[in-house]
A and B are shown apart, each in its own frame.
Chain A
Amino acid sequence: MPAPTLDRQPAGSPDEAALQQQFAATIAADRRIEPRDWMPEGYRKTLVRQVAQHAHSEIIGMQPEGDWLLAAPSLRRKAVLLAKVQDEAGHGLYLYSAAETLGADRADLTDKLIEGRQKYSSIFNYPTPSYADVGVIGWLVDGAAICNQVPLCRSSYGPYARAMIRVCKEESFHQRQGYELLMTMMRGTDEQRAMVQESVDRWWWPSLMMFGPPDDESPNTAQSMAWGIKRHTNDELRQRFVDMTVPQAQFLGVTLPDPDLAWDEESGHWRFGAIDWEEFKRVLGGQGPMNDVRIARRRAARDDNAWVVEAATAHARKHEAVPA
């Protein structure tokens, strides 16, 4: 128990320097910032960008796998996929809630997404032509997301950290269902094994790109790490993902499409080949295979379902007007 302090803090509204000092002390002690705390404007804005774009990625992320909902090969696989896609919607909503505690507005964020003024992860701009893609997305894409997201459970911003704890618990199911699906296919026919390999060939490099440009091209990483809203650099997380995934690929019996992939005894890490950052920039810049489709569908979901929102509002108003 700390010694009792009998001298009272002087009352009165502290000036901005004192607030800044209090904020810095909270961060330095690895405690959490909560919505009604004073925070620097740059911290708030960076977090809104980060959380909103994370939310957008979850919502758009429903689409690539959602394409397989009606074509899944069994009732079991259909139920699993439906639960997974529903989780992605839930993750998006937890995150929009967190963004709203920072003064953002969910409907407005959706508009910004549809207008292309805010982005979502480039990974969702790739198509899913094969059912094996459902398994590979769970294994690689959700595996990469877990690498990114687990450290965010310790984000210095309380509502975001709490949302990430819920998300991470659920992502674990996503990755495992994907890996199990792939194991089942690998135990099947030659044709099924070829499907898995073909899908891995397409998704491996985009999965590595998910971690973002190399550290020397990420000038703001230092600030975000100082604020406790980013916990590891892009390259650190990418390396962690590769080290985690290579043994899983070996167990599965697939080949990762990188001739330079090699175990480095000295460092205890898997070394991998050069990433095509031009492709990353193209896809992020709107030139990916599915960018237009994703946004068009999100726009249609908003506009075509507007009547549901109106009907629910009208229903609520009607019941409000009738005395109980």
Chain B
Amino acid sequence: MNAWLDKLYKTFIVDDNYMMLVKGLGNTLLITLCALLIGIVIGSVIAIAKYYAEGNKKLKIVNVVCDIYTTAIRGIPVTVLLMIFYFVIIVSDTTGITTAIIAFGINSGAYMAELIRSGINAVDNGQMEAARSLGMSKGQAMRKIIFPQAIKNILPAIGNECIALLKETSVAGYVTVVDLTRAANLIRTNTNDAVNPLILLALVYLFLVVIMTKLLNIFERRLRKSDGR
């Protein structure tokens, strides 16, 4: 027992190694959160654009562009995308954090777009008709009536996407970002202790995911209020 504590002390406390983990955690959360926001914005824009473009010959080009985006992004591994952004497109970013945010955001946007689109399609047609019959324009009806219901329908799926995104960011180390995973890995190489940093790393991710799931459940329950009993 004492030997283990001693080892923990050497691994995490000496040289303030734990601070690396704290900073890494901060970067992981920062990248996840910002990428999520970008993803939701891109996803909403694309989903709504596709909703409008459907059945409108003049806007066919919009549809094609959106399809190319989702197909390309969903077909390319996020690690590859990340490296392309870091080494080919944004070469001036030294810490890699901005690049990671953009790459993960664009990646997540494609998945969000499909999710939100399925949510919009799942809202009963009668809702749009009722809104239009009151005199709302298509855009007003979308904003006030359809979109809020669509988001509510797909909230569990968005939650899953958040969780997937959080875990995906663990490859950010490929482009020099010191995220949680890279921090733990650096501690591993510096201290020759593989077990403790990696186990701790796994536990931190697990803890984050559990917290996110809990928050999501609370949020969902609040939205569900209108379903009555």
Q: Do A and B bind each other?
A: no
CB within 8 Å of A: which residues of B?
none
